[in-house]
Amino acid sequence: MRRFLDASTAWCACTCTALMILLHAPEASAQVINFGLPLDGIAGDNVHVFNDTPNATFTYVITHSDPAILGVSLSSSGPWTETVNVTVTTDAAGNGVSTTWFTLGEAVGTAQQHACRVGVTPPCGNQVNFTVVTVDEVTLISVNRPLDSNPAVNPGGGLRMFPDRDHPNDTANSVRVRVRARLTAAVANITVYFRSFDVDDPSTNDTAVDPDGAGVLDNRGTPRNGLIGPVGGSGSSATIVLNSDANGIAEADLQVSRFAGDNYRVATAVRAAVISGINAAGTELRDGAGTPLPTVRAKSTPMLTVWRRVHIERDSMGPVSGNATGGQIVSASPGAAGQSVVLVLAGALTVNQYENGILDISGIGAFPIVQNSVTTFTVQGSVPSSAAGMLFSAVDDDDFDGNDNPKNGDAGDDVVAPAAVYSKMQPSDLVTENAFARAYIKPVWDGGGGTTSHDNGDVGFVVNVDTTANEPIEAQIGAGRGSTSELDDFWVGYFQDSYQPEVGRDADPNVEIRVGYGVSPRCTCADIGGSGSVPRGSIGSLTFVEVLRDRFDPLASVDTAAHELGHQFGLMGDGAGNQGIMNGQSFEFIPAHINMLRWRVKSPGEQ
């Protein structure tokens, strides 16, 4: 009877895994038996004799073909040698069983073992072909979500996974990845141990993001190590024990979290003592002796890092209309050298709202506006007194796309933000193109629902959106938004290319101190947050393309959309101090904000 046990296991714990009878009788025929043995595994064996000389004692020599692969001993604890002798004492019927010997798998490979009676040269009796195996490699295989190479923003390398839905109605399990361990030979029924680990976040040791610094317990999901379970099942623990199939393969499923930046490795081995001795050290896994994996006795998957996607709907107001004022001329009189002062009946104007614009007087001509008061325009040129009673129209210097000559208040131009406004939230893995990459978040420009049909290029033009209250902003967002299927595993961000905020913040005149580059309503935003305290963000954002043109602030021109998406995620940063992209100080998020982004569970605007 062949017994198999782990080298570290007591003999009394052996279990019978195969039966081998070594016959010694004239009528017996030899057999060839193939037996798989884990590296460092031990098999216990006996010689069985039938119908031989009654009441006799025989000695058998146990030999094997390759002492580098197999060792034998009369004790389960060794010492291990090339040969051992065992004795069989027969009963009155000529039957007997030898004392037990043990075989150790010392190295990977195949070797033959014989038990021959003293004086007989192998081959004799049954031949056992021992194939000693270990895990040759362990790989990660996509199940319902593709895996690709982890981009350079994560210096730990490895693979990346997006464990979220592809579209709102997607019901496939998105958090599962297959772990495949392949043995060094196609041997069935070898016990294979799988164990998952939370390895260190390689992107930073800043404790605002990675509380344990260079430690290894920084995943946000629970449990931190992920869950290992049978193929197609639910993970139940960080360790699972399986048997290899006829191809020498064992597979399990790893269940990951949906927290951006969580990272995992899975170790495999064919011995319990080996798998239990493995520990995470930085981004590596090391065995009980401190040797980094892979070793001959244990293998590890590449590091797997969780990324998240935010699906973007982008609308725009459509063609500009009504961006002018008009009325009747009351009088025209000379002003400073080369200028005229024109009194109008057009209601109360906003002081200097129309500076650098154009005053067009019906039947007389167009005049550049130098400045305006509540009731007058000061223009360049000589306006005759006969202008009294004439109709006029006035436009300011608005020209968000720089194509009006002469100036006409952008009449008929589609309101579309220049590419620079969204240049820091591209569908890219580069920090220079995607400010959210350090938080392991990637924008996807698919209409916010897996279909670009939600993207509306003609929401309806509004010259000045009132941003003094949440309601008119939300109404403007609601006029266009079609992406409403937000879920914890399907994030949606919303943008509307808009013209300008209310008079007084629209950079007309240019000297206005507080202007609006963008706005995100009803944000209960914060600068610090973590588990259980990630604030509600905004339901969407308006980007004011004409103000960006008026001010021509290079930093604001390229970080506005990413800044506003930060508000949708619940980030504040508009106060004093260096708050990075959330305070117009750089093109990157500060560590505290990266931490909040990585704790995010709900879609932007939700809590």
233 closest CA partner among 254, 218, 207, 213: 254
Q: Residue 179: its pLDDT value, please?
A: 98
> Is pLDDT above 60 for 112?
yes
Extract the runs of DSSP E, i.e. beta strands, from 276-381: 279-281, 284-286, 298-300, 304-306, 308-316, 318-319, 325-334, 339-345, 358-361, 365-372, 376-380
Mean pLDDT of 444-454: 88
- pLDDT (0 to 100) of residue 184: 98
Provide the pLDDT for residue 1: 33
**pLDDT at residue 60 greater than cutoff 60:** yes
Note the pLDDT of residue 222.
Answer: 92
**pLDDT tens, residue by residue, 474-503:** 999 999 999 999 999 999 999 999 999 999
- Torsions phi, psi for 452 (to 5 deg): -75, 0
If one compares 347 and 527, the residue with the highest pLDDT of the two is: 527
The tokens of 107 are what? Answer: 């190295």
Cβ-contact 210, 219 below 8 angstroms: no
Cα–Cα dist 178/244, whole Å = 15
**HEC-encoded secondary structure of 64-108:** ECCCCCEEEECCCCCCCECCEEEEEECCCCCCEECCCEEEEECCC
pLDDT digits (tens, 9 = 90+) for 9-55: 222 223 333 334 344 443 344 678 899 999 999 999 999 999 999 99
Tens of pLDDT, residues 530-564: 888 899 999 999 999 999 988 877 777 888 999 99
pLDDT at 203 over 70: yes
Instruction: Give the residue among 228, 229, 237, 219 at the shortest CA–CA distance from 306.
Output: 219
- pTM (global) more than 0.85: yes
Cβ count near 363 (within 10 Å): 8
The pLDDT of residue 30:
61
pLDDT (0 to 100) of residue 579: 86
Quote the percentage of the chain above a pLDDT of 70: 95
The residues that bridge with 286 in the sheet, in sequence order, are 279, 292
pLDDT of residue 211: 81
Chain centroid to CA 361: how far?
A: 60
Is residue 3 predicted with pLDDT exceeding 70?
no
